[in-house]
Structure 1
Amino acid sequence: MPDATPAALGSPDLRVAGPRAFAVSRGAAPPPAALAGAVAAIGNFDGVHLGHRAVIGRAEALARSLGRPACVLTFEPHPRAYFRPGEPLFSLTPEPVKLALLDHFGLDGAIVVPFDAALAATSAHDFLADLLVGRLGLSGVVAGYDFHFGHDREGTPAFLLEHGRALGLAVEIVERLALQGGPVSSTAVRRALQEGDVEQAARLLGYRWVVRSTVQHGDKRGRTLGYPTANLRMTPGFGLRHGIYAVRIALDGVVHDGVASYGRRPTFDDGAPLLEVHLFDFSGDLYGGTADVEFAAWIRGEEKFASADALIARMDQDSAEARAALARAQDVPAPSVLPLRP
């Protein structure tokens, strides 16, 4: 189980996308010419963390050796959401963010396969022969040590190696990656975020965690307190610990520093959880825009204050602490990915 070092990850840690096109193919139809005969890193890739990037890096290396494009083959919705529809999943990177990250890290594209009843009933052999080889026309696949596929998860990494190669696929399996002795996994990232430890999440991800949403109209209370905010609703199952965070927010390709509150606003209405972001040194209309919010540091937990004045005093302190945390950007354990392409 190698440690998550640059050597273990293969290709450079972060590669900002240039003017090249990032091709996205949806469904089981033959992919576009840009992804014809591609080598695919295959999996759910929720979070696109360092372990995922080890798989992706191996796929890129294999693609280069074969003279083929490199892509990710992923599934929407997440299989867990399909099999457990009553249990909202804390998705680290819903599809738009996942695709933006894969673009940012330099892949040629992604194939998004719907996870539905037909796919769930497909045998492991048919998954390889009919989908990967027959319809998608892949030349190679790279998967992680724990990847399973096919009806009742009958397809194992060993099955993939044996039967994939028999079908003419180049196949590689990547062993588990560790960071400071612990496994790098989506579960570990979720656990860190549920504890508010966005810096540990960044260590596991290899970048500072980002969420994307549309700025909505709120009750304008922040404006009356001297702290106007961009209000963003999160997806069901969103599991970030309630509290105050130092953040950066990207709007229309421009990145701003700020401080964010995620929670129920107990001083006023104790309502549905909401992410409220105050941008430092900014004035303008944000409503209706798409925002990417990057979490840099934890400031404190959610509190209820006896008065608006007490809340304002604490917000002044929070803002000062957030500015200080953001000024220490070189000390944050992982780099920024902002701004991401839409």
Structure 2
Amino acid sequence: MKNFFIAEGAAQNPHRQQPQVVVIGNFDGVHLGHQTLLQRAREWGEKKGLPPVVVTFDPHPLSVLRPPHLRLFDLEDQQAQFRAHGMAGVVYLPFSRDFSQLSAAEFLEKILGPELNPQVLIVGFNFRFGSARGGSVETLKEWGERRGCQVEIVQPVQIPEGLVSTSEIRKALAVGDVRRARALLGRPYYLSGIVEHGEARGRGLGFPTANVHLEKVINPLHGVYATRTWVGDEVFGSVTHMGPLPTFGDEAVRLESHLFDFSRDIYGQRVRVEFFELLRGVQKFGSLSELRAQIQRDGDRAREILGSLT
């Protein structure tokens, strides 16, 4: 959507106190369930002639209440997803321990009602709010009836891979099941970062790698994956090592991606590595020749997997 806005706090919302369609949630990952919420907000916006506005929280509530807690993707990705799904903009409510002490009634009467003024309010089936999670979807329905606000509760999304939820995606990533994570997300799971200078170990083995700076988001199980790596608007098949390098006695967690049929210098550029299948776990090899042979096998298998994708 044109003129997509990003508001730090309800007071910065350009539609503040005007009728609007509001959809509330954490939207961590913007998975298929979240996308259903956004779709309904867009449809209501078109029906009512009102801007569909996302209301979410930053930092993520769990990073305050149960640290450490990392997001699936960063806020830039989240905003790109909101824009792609036709939202007018996003309002980030600053979350803190003080904010968490607001009662459900205070949240409704001090923030949601006067600041956001929803004519239509959309939430997921398990949405809770207020101190001790005291507010429920039933609370919202009762509030909406009093205010003349249409409240829609979106039911969970079920696909063959299971119930769609952020927690299920996290479980999948924890065991390296990036195929299931991709199905639940409705798009590939990925990591992005700036390409840095490394130790040139891959180059010495005949498999130069892009050493990607890891950002503060959740990582998948350590191992070697079939991946695709985006460099600007170009995408290349790749095989990627995620984790330490025990063969070299290196315990630091690294993301190293070998791009197929690629020889350009991309130091300092941001790349995005999309994960498609776990090939194997992290291994320690007895010699560099053993490691070189395994990398060749990993690359061959990754090419085969990527070539079969539709």
Task: Tell me which interval the TM-score lies in, with the shorter structure as reference length.
Answer: over 0.9
Cα-Cα RMSD? 2.1
CA positional deviation for 1:316: 1.0
- Shifted more, 106-115 versus 199-208: the winner is 106-115
The answer on 1:154 being equivalent to 2:143 is no
Is the 1:34–1:69 contact (alpha carbons within 8 Å) kept by the matching residues of 2? Answer: no
* TM superposition shift of 1:42: 0.8
Provide structure 2 residue ranges, at least 5 long, that are not aligned to the other structure. none
In 2, are the aligned partners of 1:305 and 1:311 still within 8 Å (CA)?
A: yes
Correspondent of 1:264 among 200, 220, 244 = 244
1:41 maps to 23
Aligned with residue 188 of structure 2, among 191, 208, 214: 208
With structure 2 as the length reference, what TM-score do the two structures score? 0.92
Q: C-alpha displacement at 1:34, in angstroms?
A: 11
**Aligned counterpart, 1:11:** none
**Superposed displacement of residue 201, structure 1:** 0.8
Separation in structure 1 between the aligned mates of residue 194 and residue 56 of structure 2, nearest angstrom: 24
State the one-letter code of the partner of 1:149.
F
2:62 alignment partner AA = R
Match of 1:291? 271
Residue of structure 1 equivalent to 2:293: 313
1:333 aligned partner: none
* Equivalence for 2:83: 103
The 3-state SS of whatever aligns with 1:272 is strand
TM (normalized to structure 1)? 0.84
Q: 8 Å contact 1:215–1:231 — kept in the other structure?
A: yes
Structure with higher strand content: 2
Contact 1:129 1:167 in 2 (8 A): no
Query: Do the aligned residues in 1 keep the contact of 2:6 with 2:90 (CA within 8 Å)?
Result: yes
Moved more, 26-35 or 45-54: 26-35
Structure 2 distance, partners of 1:180, 1:190, is: 17
5+ residue gaps in structure 1? 1-16, 331-342
**Residue of 188, 198, 204 corresponding to 2:178:** 198
1:82 matched residue in structure 2:
64
1:221 aligned to 2:220? no
Q: Is the counterpart of residue 91 in structure 1 residue 71 in structure 2? A: yes
Shift of 1:92: 1.2
CA contact (8 A) 1:249 1:257 kept: yes
Q: Summarize the alignment of residues 232-247 of structure 1 with structure 2, pairs less than 5 Å apart.
A: 232-235=212-215, 238-247=218-227
Contact 2:193 2:214 in 1 (8 A): yes
Residue 306 of structure 2: aligned partner: 326
Deviates more, 1:119-128 or 1:311-320: 119-128
| Most deviating of 106-115 and 29-38 | 29-38
Distance 1:135 1:262, change over 3 A: same
Counterpart of 2:118? 138
Quick one: distance in 2 between partners of 1:206 and 1:197?
A: 14
Tell me the residue number matched to 2:44.
Answer: 62
Quote how far apart the aligned CAs of 1:234 are.
2.9
CA drift at 1:129: 2.6
